[in-house]
Amino acid sequence: MKFLHRYIYIFMTALLVTSCSDPSSVDSCEESGNFIIAATPQALDGVADYLLTTESLESGSISTVGCGQEQDGTYRYYVTNNNKYFSLLYGQGNPGAVTTYQLNSNGKLDELSDFQSETVQAFAPIEDDVLMVKAPRSINDPTAYWYRLNTENSQFTDEGQIDIIELAGNGEGAFPSWLTQVDDQVFMPFSTITGQGNNSFSTSYPDSAWVAVYSYPEMALQTVIKDDRTSFIGRYFTKGLSVDENGDVYAFSSAIATDDNGQMISTKPSAITRINGGAMEFDQSYFFNIQEASDGFYLTDHVYAGDGNVLLMMRDADEKAPYTTGHNFAIVNVHNQTFTWVNGLPDASSILNVTSMNNYVSEDGSTVYTGITIGNTIENEEGEKETVFEGSYVYAIDIASATATRGLEVKGGAITSINKLEPAE
C-alpha cells in the first residue's frame, strides 16, 4: 500500500502553509516546459499533489507555492500515453477521478477531461489505451474487473471480468502487481493471497512466481507461466516486468511474501529471472541473485534504461517490508549480470522519499532522472518525533559511471512523479 507510506511533512513557516493552501494562488507563476513534475506540498494533513511544468530537470527551481495545477484529492498516480497525461485518484475503495491533460504550445497543461472511474490496483499504457485492473483483496468476492480506457477520447471502450480463484489455481486468490505489454499481449504478474485473516495479502505459497498472459484487446487468458526459483514478481502497485530491445522479458522479485502476522516467510532471495522473447516459460538457465550480488540487499523497484541497464531501488534485507521503497540505488546490467552501487546520492538515512513509479529516462538511455526528498527526524518539546523537510530534488543518474548529480529543486513539496510530453498540435 504505497499510498499509505507517502511522507507528510511539517511546514517550515506559516507563510508556506498559507500560500500552498490558497486556491487562488494556483497557476500564478511563469514556469513552463515539456517536463511535468507532480509534487505533494508539505502539510500537517493529507493534501493534494500539484502538477508543475519545467524546461529542465538538471538545474533551476520550481515551487508548489502559488504555482501549478492542484489535483482533486490525495493519493494521485500518473501515466502517460498517446502524448497525454492521465492523473488517477486512488479512492481507497471508492470511485476515483481520472483527469486527462495535454501540453499546449506555451508549455502549460490543458485539462481535456475529468470523469469518475473505479479505483484500480494496476494500470499501464497498452497500445493506444490505458488498461486498468480492479482486484479484490478477499476471496469471498473472487471477481476482478478490467477496463480499457481509450486515450484518443478518454472514454472506456471495453471491460471484462477475471475469476481470481480460478486464475490462481491453488485455492487462494490471484492479486496482480502490475501490467506490461509484450508484443501484442499483456503480461500480468500476480501473487496469490489468502484474502482472509489479519493480513489479507498473506499467502501459503511464498516461494512461487506467476505471470498470466492475455491476448489484447480481447483480454482472453492464453496461459499462466510459473516459476519456483523466486517469490512473486513485483509488489503492490509496483511494476515487476521490463522488456528489453531483444524482446526478452525480465522479472524482478523482492521476495517479500508474508504470513497472516505480516512476517516475511519467503525462503527465496531477491532476484531477477527471464522469459525469452516469444517463449511461454521462464528461462531456467538464467538467474541473477540480487541479494547475493549486493551483499544482503533486496530490490524494491526498478527502472529499465536500455541495453540491459537497470536502476534498482534497494533496501537492507534485514529490514524487509512489503510496501517500503528502498533508499539505496544500484545499476545492474541484466545481460551480463553486473552490479554497481550509485555514487553521489544523499545518505540513505537522510532520504525521506524517492520517486518510484514515474521516473524519466533520457531518450538515449544514458540517464535516469529520479526525485529524492531529504530531511531528518527531530524530537520536539513534548518528546515526540517529527520529520523535518529539507528539500526535494531531481537527481540525474548517469548509467555508465553510476554517478548521480543533483539537478532541479522543487520548493515546498516532495516529488512524486516525473514525466514528459510534447506540445499538442
Averaged pLDDT for residues 313-332: 95
Sequence-distant (≥ 6) Cβ neighbours of residue 274 within 8 angstroms: 248, 249, 250, 251, 282, 283, 286, 334
- pLDDT above 60: residue 24: no
Per-residue pLDDT reduced to its tens digit, 339-358:
999 999 999 999 999 998 89
> What pLDDT score does 91 carry?
60
- 186 plus 313 within the same structural domain: yes
pLDDT of 177 over the 70 cut: yes
Residue 20 sits in the same domain as residue 107 = yes
**Mean pLDDT along residues 280-290:** 98
Q: Is the pLDDT assigned to residue 193 strictly greater than 60?
A: yes
pLDDT score recorded for residue 93: 62
- Which cell is 99 given? 483527469
Asked if the model's pLDDT at residue 16 lies above 80, the reply is no
**Do 217 and 286 fall into the same domain?**
yes
Same domain as 108, residue 16: yes
The CATH number given to whatever domain includes residue 142 is 2.120.10.10
Domain's final residue, options 290, 307, 341: 341
**Residue-range definition of the domain harbouring residue 205:** 121-341
Work out the pLDDT band at 11, boundaries 50, 70, 90. Answer: very low
Across the range 241-253, mean pLDDT stands at 98
The terminus-to-terminus CA distance of the chain in angstroms comes to 38
Average the pLDDT over 192-201 and give the result: 89
Residues 72 and 150 in one domain: no
What pLDDT, in 10s, does the model give residues 37-80? 999 987 655 678 899 999 999 999 999 888 888 887 677 889 99
pLDDT reported for residue 334: 98
When divided into structural domains, the chain yields a total of: 2
94/26 same-domain check: yes
Taking residues 6-33, report their average pLDDT.
Answer: 43
Tell me what the mean pLDDT of segment 146-166 comes to. 95
162 with 255, same domain: the answer is: yes
Q: Please report which confidence band the pLDDT of residue 377 belongs to, taking 50, 70 and 90 as the band edges.
A: confident
Compute the Cα dihedral for 136, 140, 142, 147 and give only its sign: negative
Q: Which of 69-83, 84-98, 397-411 has the highest mean pLDDT?
A: 397-411
d(CA 122, CA 218): 18
As a whole number, mean pLDDT of residues 269-280 equals 98
Least confident of 39-53, 99-113, 251-265: 39-53
Q: Which of 81-95, 248-262, 293-307, 312-326 has the lowest mean pLDDT?
A: 81-95
Are residue 311 and residue 210 in the same domain, yes or no?
Answer: yes
Whether 371 shows a pLDDT value over 70: the answer reads yes
For residue 89, the model assigns a pLDDT of: 82
Instruction: Give the pLDDT of residue 141.
Output: 86
* Same-domain check for residues 178 and 233: yes
Instruction: Tell me the average pLDDT of the chain.
Output: 89
pLDDT digits (tens, 9 = 90+) for 198-227: 888 999 999 999 999 999 999 999 999 999
- Three-state SS letters, the chain: CHHHHCCCCCCCCHHHHHHHHCHHHCCCCCCCCCEEEEEEECCCCCCCCEEEEECCCCCCEEECCCCCEECCCCCEEEEEECCEEEEEECCCCCCEEEEEEEECCCCCEEEEEEEEECCCCEEEEECCEEEEEECCCCCCCCEEEEEEEECCCCEEEEEEEEEHHHHHCCCCEEEECCCEEECCEEEEEEEEECCCCCCCCCCCCCCCEEEEEEECCCCCEEEEEEECCCCCCCECCECCEEECCCCCEEEEECCCCECCCCCECCCCCCEEEEECCCCCCCCCCCCEEHHHHCCCEEEEEEEEEECCEEEEEEEEHHHCCCCCCCCEEEEEECCCCEEEECECCCCHHHEEEECCCCCEECCCCCEEEEEEEEEEEEECCCCCEEEEEEEEEEEEEECCCCEEEEEEEEECEEEEEEEECCCCC
212 and 75, same structural domain? no
Query: How many CB atoms within 10 Å of residue 141?
Result: 11
Q: Which residue has the higher pLDDT, 27 or 165?
A: 165
Q: What is the mean pLDDT of residues 257-261?
A: 95
- Output the CA angle 24-353-30, nearest 5 degrees: 30
Question: Same structural domain for residues 313 and 386?
Answer: no
Alpha-carbon torsion angle 19, 23, 24, 27, nearest 10: 90
Mean pLDDT over 246-271 rounds to 97
Q: Specify whether the CB–CB gap between 392 and 407 falls below 8 A.
A: no
Quick: pLDDT tens for 221-237. 999 999 999 999 999 99
Give the per-residue pLDDT at 43: 64
| Residues 6+ positions from 212 with CB-CB distance below 8 Å | 167, 174, 176, 187, 188, 189, 190, 221, 223, 224
Residue 359 scores a pLDDT above 60: yes
Query: In the prediction, which pLDDT does 13 show?
Result: 29
Q: Output the pLDDT for position 350.
A: 94
Tell me the pLDDT band of 92, cut-offs 50, 70 and 90.
Answer: low
Identify any residues that bridge with 81 across adjacent strands, giving them in sequence order: 84
Q: Are residues 170 and 243 in the same domain?
A: yes
Winning range, highest mean pLDDT, from 25-29, 119-123, 228-232 = 228-232
Pick the range with the lowest mean pLDDT from 18-32, 148-162, 269-283: 18-32
